[in-house]
Chains A and B, each alone.
Chain A
């Protein structure tokens, strides 16, 4: 499988001796039962809808009567103590076939978000510019029945601003910051519900330094499972762009279209399989009520702007639950709805293209075919698709996505934007470094690539800046750490208290996201080996089509903050939607059970 090596070290198919328990069974409930040496076949336990079929066949001690043991897919993958391999279940649920099936479902509106790394890989594959690639991809997706196609950049802009604000907050709150700021960043409960879901969540104490980017799910899964509480406090709570986009889609877009979050089937196109894992996280789920609360916004602007003709009334702070129910689709037995329903890798999208070529295009050229339909990607809050227009109900929220509302919407973009000269894995370290230099030391760094210096190998880089304004000998020291072996080195330094960095961009894949496991492989016979293909994809990523734009200059970002995100990065509303939490994943009963040695 193509999960990054970071989460693959733990073997999901290991030989397990009898009486090894499923991770969930250990969450306090069943410890009183004596372990026996023999395998006991238990009747299949009820599991949540999301994990149907993943119930392990054996070695569960009998739960107390009436006490269903639930296994979430994510717990399953995070644990390695079971005989079943949950990978296959995950891959079936988030597959191209599932995507096609949902497109055919009349009760769902399928919406798609495309990551810039996937866009770059497809651009390199087809020999097109990124703008043309995205436009033709959108044309094809809309032709299949997708209701909206978005670029991920706006979500990433939001996330970068949050990450920078979070870093500056941490830096300022602790001198050097290597204290025990463990409080506040571990999830409050083990049920996995977002700790900040409740309106008015208290602002948590900032965590310790070094702050580590948490956008990479391979890294997050590994950290939660293998290092747990020793590492989780360092991880930034800011969501990944996928996580942020999921939150926006299921709250703002759902409300704009007057549907419940479950009626939207949100698909993302990502460069790796680990993102499927992220999509299945309990922490990245929502309910109709929570989504409605977000959409109501921190300012009762909706009430002021409701246009005529709309039968959606809104009251100051009151929120009416969205009336429409999405049915069973995507709603787990706990009532929570995934914010990203399905993540497809770039490779899987390519397979789908081959399976269902755009009309009029040959199977050899696909998107490269000049007759491939082409459509601009949508703005963040597009008008509801025709299929839903008739079912717009009195959901009580006047986001006034209808043009008649007269309220400013995030504008459509006439071209692609992104960060230039930043890492191709989101540009975290570059952006946060510049923001830190500006905020903490008043230094505005010149445009252009920052002078990163490779240390042990090309995937371990550091950047330093002397900041006399902060005190004598004060240095801003950031690192980019990619790949499992370098992550080991970083974690060693952190555990020994010898980490000299204040911020680390951690990515599981060597060479970063463009080299993710889900990207298309080199085409046989075409001569380009893996290294050359990577260079082509990098070139596509840095293509001049993508104009440089600072996240703060993105008008959609300004609008989103002013209307729904509390006015500034780090606000309570922003924390609710754009931040998440992590939790230690308990390993199974230790393998000392296996033998007496």
Chain B
């Protein structure tokens, strides 16, 4: 009997093709989704809870010529970046209620797989099938300059994400590794590589995400059907989620990462885990190729076994009619979860 339930509270339809990615605005009041139909849809809520009524408030189209694979909000909540298989990244701004494309970032050789805005809104990271990670800087006048282009991954890079401090960039991909990048004042360099030598994931790493509370643990999900949690070597071996955030954070310095795999969560998924997101509640939501959504969390309380005790505390089989591509917790309402799928739908869930 699951202690938690993810209750479906709505489905958003409208996209004509599979939905690849969803992203909540920083204030949690809007949801952006992007799709193989080459559009981005912005969903807004008519009224606050409990009666969720979301509607499509904008469609961003006429821009990309191929699938839009990823969408990311700027920390201001007034700009979006979209990454597309047409090898470009578009930047959009919202002014007077209208979304307008203000810039196009070219440079990737082929499909761009992910885009992420850094916490202060100054930098955008992108990655793609050309195995490179690009970092762009936003300049005055809606101008962008290329700060760096990082080679290092030996295969398609699937995901990039920033550490909340902005000093560390994480990339992960088809070469089974996770790379951590830091800035030395002149250029970005790979400070650490996780995995790839038999010590990490055994297959493509699809998504990575930081623990929003301690900011010292990294979670990753993979085609090898596992989740891994990475911690600083200086952290004590068992750090229950209930322990003060400082304990896990004690050893971790973003600009000098020294992560190791602390926990491997296996046996919960039967297919590739495509996406994960870590909520401040401590729950990690995952979406997989078995059309399921799970919520996993470390057991809190009195049991302090080595490595903590992680378990799957909610499962929705057949959450969608096809692969679940992305799951994201709402930043303002940590019990609200959005998911999207190859079935072309976006579903909203409430955690009970």
Q: A14 — which chain B residues lie within 8 A by C-beta?
A: 129
In this assembly, does B2 line the interface, its C-beta being within 8 Å of a C-beta of chain A?
A: no
Q: Which of A366-374, A484-492, A546-554 contacts B (4 or more CB under 8 A)?
A: A484-492
A225: nearest residue on chain B (CB-CB)? B109
Q: A457 — which chain B residues lie within 8 A by C-beta?
A: 186-187
Bound together, the chains give a CA A370 to CA B129 distance in angstroms of 53
Q: B186 — which chain A residues lie within 8 A by C-beta?
A: 457-458
Q: B131 — which chain A residues lie within 8 A by C-beta?
A: 11
What is the interface residue range for chain B against chain A? 20 to 34
Q: Mark B134-167, 1 if CB is under 8 A from A, else 0.
A: 0000000001111111010000000000000000
B132 touches A485 (CB 8 A): no
In this assembly, does B264 line the interface, its C-beta being within 8 Å of a C-beta of chain A?
A: no
Bound together, the chains give a CA A496 to CA B139 distance in angstroms of 14
B85 touches A485 (CB 8 A): no
Q: Mark A438-481, 1 if CB is under 8 A from B, else 0.
A: 00000000000000000011100000000000000000000000
B146 touches A485 (CB 8 A): yes
Q: Considering the complex, which residues of chain B in the window 84-134 have a beta carbon less than 8 Å from any beta carbon of chain A?
A: 85, 106-107, 109-111, 129-132
B186: nearest residue on chain A (CB-CB)? A457
Q: B130 — which chain A residues lie within 8 A by C-beta?
A: 9-11
A489 touches B151 (CB 8 A): no
> How many whole Å from B68's CB to the nearest CB in chain A?
10
Bound together, the chains give a CA A181 to CA B111 distance in angstroms of 32
In this assembly, does B66 line the interface, its C-beta being within 8 Å of a C-beta of chain A?
A: yes
Q: A10 — which chain B residues lie within 8 A by C-beta?
A: 109, 130
B146 touches A492 (CB 8 A): yes
In this assembly, does B67 line the interface, its C-beta being within 8 Å of a C-beta of chain A?
A: yes
> How many whole Å from A479's CB to the nearest CB in chain B?
14
What is the interface residue range for chain A against chain B? 20 to 34
B145 touches A226 (CB 8 A): no
Bound together, the chains give a CA A5 to CA B133 distance in angstroms of 13
Q: A80 — which chain B residues lie within 8 A by C-beta?
A: 109
B87: nearest residue on chain A (CB-CB)? A591
> How many whole Å from B83's CB to the nearest CB in chain A?
14
> How many whole Å from B20's CB to the nearest CB in chain A?
9
A486 touches B146 (CB 8 A): yes
In this assembly, does A8 line the interface, its C-beta being within 8 Å of a C-beta of chain B?
A: yes
Q: B67 — which chain A residues lie within 8 A by C-beta?
A: 597
A456 touches B145 (CB 8 A): yes
Bound together, the chains give a CA A498 to CA B106 distance in angstroms of 16
B146 touches A597 (CB 8 A): no
B132 touches A492 (CB 8 A): no
B151 touches A5 (CB 8 A): yes
* Interface hub of A8, A9, A498 (most chain B Cβ within 10 A): A9
Q: B344 — which chain A residues lie within 8 A by C-beta?
A: none
A488 touches B107 (CB 8 A): yes
Given contacts A10-B109, A457-B186, A597-B67, contact A485 B149 (CB under 8 A): yes
Given contacts A457-B186, A597-B17, A597-B66, contact A488 B146 (CB under 8 A): yes
B145 touches A489 (CB 8 A): yes
B147 touches A226 (CB 8 A): no
B149 touches A11 (CB 8 A): no
Bound together, the chains give a CA A401 to CA B6 distance in angstroms of 90
In this assembly, does B36 line the interface, its C-beta being within 8 Å of a C-beta of chain A?
A: yes
> How many whole Å from B19's CB to the nearest CB in chain A?
12
Bound together, the chains give a CA A591 to CA B146 distance in angstroms of 25
Bound together, the chains give a CA A226 to CA B130 distance in angstroms of 13
In this assembly, does A101 line the interface, its C-beta being within 8 Å of a C-beta of chain B?
A: no
Given contacts A226-B109, A488-B107, A597-B66, contact A5 B149 (CB under 8 A): yes
B69: nearest residue on chain A (CB-CB)? A597
> How many whole Å from B103's CB to the nearest CB in chain A?
9
Bound together, the chains give a CA A488 to CA B149 distance in angstroms of 9
B36 touches A492 (CB 8 A): no
In this assembly, does A592 line the interface, its C-beta being within 8 Å of a C-beta of chain B?
A: yes
Q: A591 — which chain B residues lie within 8 A by C-beta?
A: 110-111
A9: nearest residue on chain B (CB-CB)? B109
Q: Considering the complex, which residues of chain A in the window 373-407 have a beta carbon less than 8 Å from any beta carbon of chain B?
A: none
Residue from A11, A485, A495, A496 in contact with B148 in the complex, judged by beta carbons closer than 8 Å: A485
Residue from A9, A11, A492, A597 in contact with B144 in the complex, judged by beta carbons closer than 8 Å: A492
Q: Considering the complex, which residues of chain A in the window 1-25 have a beta carbon less than 8 Å from any beta carbon of chain B?
A: 5, 8-11, 14
B110 touches A485 (CB 8 A): no
Bound together, the chains give a CA A80 to CA B130 distance in angstroms of 11
Bound together, the chains give a CA A489 to CA B137 distance in angstroms of 10
Excluding A591-B111, A597-B36, 8 further A-B contacts by CB distance (< 8 Å) are A9-B149, A80-B109, A458-B186, A485-B187, A486-B146, A492-B144, A492-B146, A597-B66
- 7 closest A-B pairs by beta carbon, nearest first, are A488-B146, A489-B145, A485-B146, A597-B67, A597-B36, A489-B146, A485-B149
Jot down 10 A-B pairs with beta carbons below 8 A, ordered by A.
Answer: A5-B149, A5-B151, A9-B132, A10-B130, A484-B149, A485-B148, A485-B149, A485-B187, A489-B145, A498-B143
* Residues in A lying within 8 Å of B, measured CB to CB: 5, 8-11, 14, 80, 226, 456-458, 484-486, 488-489, 492, 495-496, 498, 591-592, 597
